Chains A and B, each alone.
Chain A
Amino acid sequence: MKYVDEFRDGKVARSLAQTIAAEVRPERRYHLMEFCGGHTHAISRYGLRDLLPPEIRFIHGPGCPVCVLPIGRIDSAIELARDHGVILCSYGDTLRVPASERMSLLRAKAEGADIRMVYSSADALKIARDNPEREVVFFAIGFETTTPPTAVALRQARTEGLKNFSVFANHVLTPSAIQNILESPEVRELGTIPLDGFIGPSHVSTIIGSRPYEFFAEEFQKPVVIAGFEPLDVLQSVLMLVRQLNEGRAEVENQFSRAVTREGNLKAQALVAEVFELRDRFEWRGLGEVPYSALRIREAYRDLDAEVRFDLPYRSVPDHKACECGTILRGLKQPQDCKVFGTVCTPDNPLGSCMVSAEGACAAYYTYGQFKGSAEVAEAS
């Protein structure tokens, strides 16, 4: 069981940090967006900002699956459990995301709705098998990493002829979100979000490969480094980005060569393509409606689509007025710029979704960064 420590060696980390400090040019800043919440979490949990020179600025991206889930989708999930009497199976973090009228899946559960936390889509299938007299819906969320297991569950349900199982699909796509950020007026024309390069999520790329990023690197002239989630991975990818920027390159580089290839996992891609197809549009919290940014279940599996089976309408619900999740998810603001950060909105009582998951920028700042005091946090970011 020894696989953790070698990626967390303090000495290696300090020497990497020294190399970065030696190579940054003092006359410029390096604004790096870590797209994925897993990276945001690693940066905060291991105190990586303290190791890096002030020229490196992290901008936190929207890659946190529960953070980008809009209120309307949670409302629909609650409706399924409460009004349609189904057993709703969901990943843990989703339970606490605030929905309309101060509701959440956790509160609906406390009021008697049958909502069960699962660790995998296979758990949801098992619940369906064990409860043949009940409708069981898997509330599927996540980026490309969680999509193949959902596809497997759908195929399995079809093979077994499980009639009481269906999927409420909310799978979203990383490249579409990055493109949306790069094409936003704040980045493209106004330049209010300085954005020099991307730290790309390696888990996503184990599925889709590194190729989908080649377009951004070339079209928008932004370097991308696909990075692992261990703290040493993050530091190394920062160094790779600094070098690209210093040399005026904008390429896709792969720091996570231990698992990511250019093409990705073709078998998983084929499986996803068999079960899912692109949605024309999908609402993201923070980004609004993003075209071709999410997946829905294909015609051939339509009978296992909970949206069809329960005739779920979609109602878009605006976020709480004081909540800045939207601007934080687009990198326009930092968590401590939000008026309700750490006061009305805390991890115990989240107002916005970025405070819910450990991968949300607000939760990471609140949980790991309080001791610094707000001035110092602002400076470090």
Chain B
Amino acid sequence: MSANPKPLKHGYIRPLDLKHGKVEMSHGGGGRAMAQLIDELFQQAFDNPWLRQANDQALLTRPEGRIVMATDSHVVSPLFFPGGDIGSLSVHGTINDVATSGARPLWLSAGFILEEGFPLADLKRIVDSMATAAEKARVPIVTGDTKVVERGKGDGVFINTTGVGVVPDGIEISGDRARPGDRILVSGYLGDHGVAIMSLRENLSFSTNIVSDSAALHDLIAAMLQAAPDIHCLRDPTRGGLASTLNEIARQSGVGMAIREEDIPIREEVDAACELLGLDPLYVANEGKVVAICPAASADALLAAMHLHPLGLDAAIIGEVIEDSHGFVQMETSFGGRRNVDWLSGEQLPRIC
């Protein structure tokens, strides 16, 4: 008779292979594999009282004040880039959408669409990065969802995040509140995120020191509102860049905008990369910048407050709101000529000669 085999530990499940494992269809199937992925990966990383309830929803206590809600889906390629990854980006992006209403962000949700075959090690990196970003921002991820699609039907991972926040009394921020005479401010150098991403695209790959500016802006915005509670508009110039943000606000408010090229902060490296690619930095995406429009009388105090915050060190007043029923954004070029800064048409395609 041979010795008794070692008895299996009751309820033992082989842990997820986070080093070499891959996402499988069963990870979205609703069965044990999915439960394991949630427990061992998401729950561990995002851990908080709401997730520990292990319900399909988060039970939240109603906060005082007006509630805002924003959602954002993230499909960035490549998933990892200098200065961030899709995980941190998905946290920052939604926090910023909530915060640019003047709100204090309270909670986030996260929905993952994973492609079959995606390395679990990469997923862990992304989830850890989200957890770090959320913790640093002090905004918990309180509920989530995971779906898996067949290989070839996704591109690794897509992440949707939704955020809820609360706007303090007395703060009235909206894209339709820009008035002629208001000043236009930006919180720092423009175009860093877009150029950092483009430098990695497979058919471009050029070397640059530029890193994405991806960051959560709610602390900066809180400091701005303290210095200038009468800010009229706030918006983060993401896709379509500064040009699109100003055009959106001009249309919503029924005003024009006049900006000065010389005063717009753009790094030499970004300018050079854009020149090479045939792009206009005014249209290139940012993920950690805010555009503010405020009454002229508050502009200096607002700028000073921005300069005191690490994310606003390079803030600048770049122009003013003017009367214009057409809603045009115009720019005085560094030559003293004037030109229109139009909406972006299509994708920003490169010129060929």
Contact = CB atoms under 8 A, between A and B. Distances in A.
Interface string A1-17: 11111001010011000
Nearest to A359: B351
Contacts of A347: 342, 345-346
B93 to A, nearest CB: 25
A47 interface: yes
Given A4-B268, A5-B268, A146 B353 contact: yes
A310 B170 CA distance: 69
A371 B335 contact: no
Interface in B284-323: none
B204 interface: yes
Contacts of A48: 335, 337
Given A10-B334, A369-B339, A370-B342, A145 B353 contact: yes
Contacts of B226: none
Contacts of A123: 203
A132 B272 CA distance: 36
Contacts of B328: 370-371
B109 to A, nearest CB: 32
B203 A119 contact: yes
A167 interface: no
B336 interface: yes
A164 interface: no
Given A4-B272, A93-B352, A118-B203, A47 B345 contact: no
Nearest to A357: B351
Contact of B353 (A4, A38, A231): A38
A369 B340 contact: yes
B337 A346 contact: no
B350 A119 contact: yes
Contacts of B272: 1-4
A1 B209 CA distance: 11
Contacts of B273: 1
A45 interface: yes
Interface in A34-79: 36, 38, 41, 44-51, 65-66
A51 B342 contact: no
Contact of B336 (A50, A146, A366): A50
B332 to A, nearest CB: 8
Contact of B339 (A14, A38, A46): A46
A248 interface: no
A168 interface: no
Interface in A333-368: 346-348, 357-359, 366-368
Contacts of B204: 119
Contacts of B203: 117-119, 123
A231 B275 CA distance: 13
Contacts of A282: none
A92 B345 CA distance: 13
Contacts of A371: 256, 324, 326, 328, 330, 338, 340
A10 B335 CA distance: 4
Given A1-B269, A47-B333, A371-B338, A10 B262 contact: yes
Given A51-B336, A346-B345, A369-B340, A2 B352 contact: no
B271 interface: yes
A34 to B, nearest CB: 14
A115 B29 CA distance: 35
A143 interface: yes
B349 interface: yes
A95 B271 CA distance: 26
Interface string B164-177: 00000000000000
A92 B340 contact: no
A301 interface: no
Interface string A298-321: 000000000000000000000000
A5 B352 CA distance: 22
A296 interface: no
A117 B345 CA distance: 17
Nearest to B335: A13
A92 B337 contact: no
Pairs A-B, 6 closest by C-beta atoms = A47-B337, A347-B345, A50-B337, A92-B349, A371-B328, A368-B339
Interface of A: 1-5, 8, 10, 13-14, 36, 38, 41, 44-51, 65-66, 91-96, 117-119, 123, 141-143, 145-146, 203, 231, 346-348, 357-359, 366-372
Given A51-B336, A357-B352, 5 more contacts: A8-B334, A46-B339, A48-B337, A93-B349, A371-B338
18 contacts: A5-B271, A13-B335, A14-B335, A47-B332, A47-B335, A47-B336, A65-B353, A94-B352, A95-B349, A96-B346, A96-B349, A123-B203, A142-B352, A357-B351, A358-B278, A358-B351, A368-B342, A370-B326
